[in-house]
Structure 1
């Protein structure tokens, strides 16, 4: 298991170099914080190419609402978008909780909205509840035929994880396993890109378990209809605040409100709601504030101390 602090420092450094090389000039903004155009970036929770195609139409909807050009893209990973927002090459980012808290601390990025999703039924079907929720959990999934019956059985096993800044794919399950006496040194990890790939690693027996968001198995259900019969949730973490829509520093209050209002309006339209559902399985957005993510900071601090 990689040391969280050293691993994060490495990827943030690489991301900074990549961003400066790849993103070009800074966003078109006047000194007063007024916007002449808006750059929006997503992070991939599954196949990046698929997300790019699904997210692109959001640009036209936002441009119509705001009256300025809007460019939508997908970052290579969590850290790239943090650095891009810090250098003002990206104005608005769709950030998971941990990357958001890093961006807030490091560059003054501020949350404006938080996603809402339908909950997930606790019957190993992945089916949604009828209630919208502002949080989710991380699942540790295993194959039913793996012989892994409790978290103690994870000792000596290989676990598929996401980037070190992923809440559900790394931080929360790692910290909670440590709380229960399963140290990072007790198992090995393999990093995969996308929660769908974590699920498939377990399905295809390339990993004994995976840290994924609840219930990421729905991402592959179409291609692997047997996924819920083949696998099960071994452990589920405490709730994690839902993902954010956040703005970089330097955007004035007028534009912050306009962008917030525009995104709320768009997600209530048929087309906008479908885009959010297709990209991230969001079912709505709700106003948010920075203090909602204090639990994330607590878990980050604990993860930072683990070897």
Structure 2
């Protein structure tokens, strides 16, 4: 009996050790080394696509980073979002809502925010006032006047304004009707032809004769985000390379002409908390 017990104990130990080895093997296979780019793939969104200027900006960044840089311009944010998720791009420009969703899935990490020059007199900002635009004849004077109305909105982009409506006591699911549009221009057209009573926008959108009603919270500018598996050292190098663009006349001119940016500032996750808070208020 003593011999049988010893054999059973030895067998159990072998099984246990084998299992531990298997678990370690699986862990080793699933872990990856921190990413260090040998050439940097950057994808930004712009309606301007001057090849000479794009290449000049890429050359400035390459000089700062010491590796080749390929800067690609795309006309919308969807492509940039997909490419950072699939790791086809190392650095991308993302809308705030898209960034928060990607960060939630650990697919992107913000390093910078672009500065925009707005107002009269001009000042550099990293957040924008939210607005509701409507025809003067509508007579709206407060957010409560939107109850029972149809509002043109771009999916995800207007979550902060929706959150402000919810904070004002408006039930987003029951009290208003949302009309999906693909652009600010489409939203303005919907209001002018009577398909919508109002649209959500930000202060940089030309009102085109519509009346503006400000919402409560400011909306952060786009996120300049990197792959989350990139080393901290490379994230910092890229951050500093973009910050250096504002130190040269050529860099300032290129980023303003291509993207409307007047500079960049280091970004923190808390800069996008307003998006997360609004999501909690409006998403069922």
TM norm structure 1: 0.70
* Contact residue 98 and residue 300 of structure 1 kept, 8 A: no
CA distance in 1, matches of 2:149, 2:250: 44
Q: Does 1:300 align with 2:276?
A: no
Q: CA deviation at 1:206?
A: 4.4
* Contact residue 196 and residue 217 of structure 1 kept, 8 A: no
Q: Against the structure 1 CA distance between its residues 270 and 161, is the aligned structure 2 distance closer, same or farther, given a 3 Å change threshold?
A: farther
Q: Which runs of 5+ in 2 are unaligned?
A: 1-31
Identify which of 221, 225, 237 aligns with 1:242: 221
Identify which of 155, 159, 163 aligns with 1:171: 159
Q: Deviations over 1:7-41 (max 9, x none)?
A: xxxxxxxxxxxxxxxxxxxxxxx955221222222
Corresponding residue of 1:183:
171
Q: Does 1:284 align with 2:263?
A: yes
Q: Does 1:141 align with 2:140?
A: no
CA distance in 2, matches of 1:190, 1:150: 20
Q: Deviations over 1:237-271 (max 9, x none)?
A: 31223322111122223322221121112234334
CA distance in 1, matches of 2:272, 2:88: 24
* Contact residue 42 and residue 69 of structure 2 kept, 8 A: no
Corresponding residue of 1:194:
183
Corresponding residue of 2:116:
117
Q: Against the structure 1 CA distance between its residues 60 and 204, is the aligned structure 2 distance closer, same or farther, given a 3 Å change threshold?
A: farther
Q: CA deviation at 1:84?
A: 2.4
Q: Against the structure 1 CA distance between its residues 75 and 215, is the aligned structure 2 distance closer, same or farther, given a 3 Å change threshold?
A: closer
Corresponding residue of 1:253:
232
Q: Against the structure 1 CA distance between its residues 304 and 231, is the aligned structure 2 distance closer, same or farther, given a 3 Å change threshold?
A: same
Q: Which runs of 5+ in 1 are unaligned?
A: 1-29, 121-127, 219-226
* Contact residue 91 and residue 248 of structure 1 kept, 8 A: yes
CA distance in 2, matches of 1:269, 1:232: 39
* Contact residue 195 and residue 213 of structure 1 kept, 8 A: no
Aligned length: 249
CA distance in 1, matches of 2:257, 2:178: 29
Moved over 6 A (4+): none
Q: Does 1:100 align with 2:102?
A: no
Q: Deviations over 1:140-193 (max 9, x none)?
A: 111223333433332333222112x21xxx201112112223222322222222
Corresponding residue of 2:205:
216
Q: Against the structure 1 CA distance between its residues 152 and 102, is the aligned structure 2 distance closer, same or farther, given a 3 Å change threshold?
A: same
* Contact residue 108 and residue 227 of structure 2 kept, 8 A: yes
Q: CA deviation at 1:51?
A: 4.2
Partner SS, residue 238 of structure 1? strand
Alignment RMSD (CA, Å): 2.8
Identify which of 33, 38, 41 aligns with 2:40: 38
* Contact residue 161 and residue 217 of structure 2 kept, 8 A: no
* Contact residue 113 and residue 266 of structure 2 kept, 8 A: yes
Corresponding residue of 2:89:
90
* Contact residue 113 and residue 221 of structure 2 kept, 8 A: yes
CA distance in 2, matches of 1:146, 1:210: 13
CA distance in 2, matches of 1:236, 1:156: 18
Corresponding residue of 1:72:
72
* Contact residue 143 and residue 209 of structure 1 kept, 8 A: yes
Q: Does 1:158 align with 2:150?
A: yes
Corresponding residue of 2:13:
none
TM norm structure 2: 0.75
